[in-house]
Structure 1
């Protein structure tokens, strides 16, 4: 992975993935697996209780700059200001209000989204 920062002035064309938060390991920030009431990190082996899982943002975008198209992904707490709260805070709100969240009928993942948020 390239560690240099690059600034890109571009127009956002689309979201690449509708899943923009994920449960993350508190040690290595990798996606953790939530199984029953336990969480497990496949990368570092860290375990914990699923209800104590923290969440991080992962925003995958398709953008255009001049005549070039790019796929970019923005991770982590730099998106807290954009969303107005942490990913863990947003997950708690979504989980508490799952029945009020409107998922488009055309989405084939509507049921899957509701099941993920109920965890």
Structure 2
């Protein structure tokens, strides 16, 4: 069992971010029932794995709400291969859609630039 500052050191994630993830329901810590003099929250080793999963998922474009939908099942290996592929395919489609939107914006900006460069003075 680790305290939040130990989690932060091991993962490189700021304490405030870890607290935010916990409040968002991505994982839970626990207090020791026999200790009543402080409000320390302790975290098991699985929380480090979940924090690393969250970092990886965020790095490839998943939102926290998307991560929350799958983290427990994915981490506990309760989600089958087909379901994992479905989650990833959905994200790929979202990325393709975003690329189309960005290409359209780029085209509009290039046209605007062209018009400015070629306008009569």
User: Which structure has more helix as a fraction of its residues?
Assistant: 2
| TM-score calculated relative to the size of structure 2 | 0.20
Rg comparison, structure with higher value: 2
User: Which structure has more strand as a fraction of its residues?
Assistant: 1
| TM-score calculated relative to the size of structure 1 | 0.21
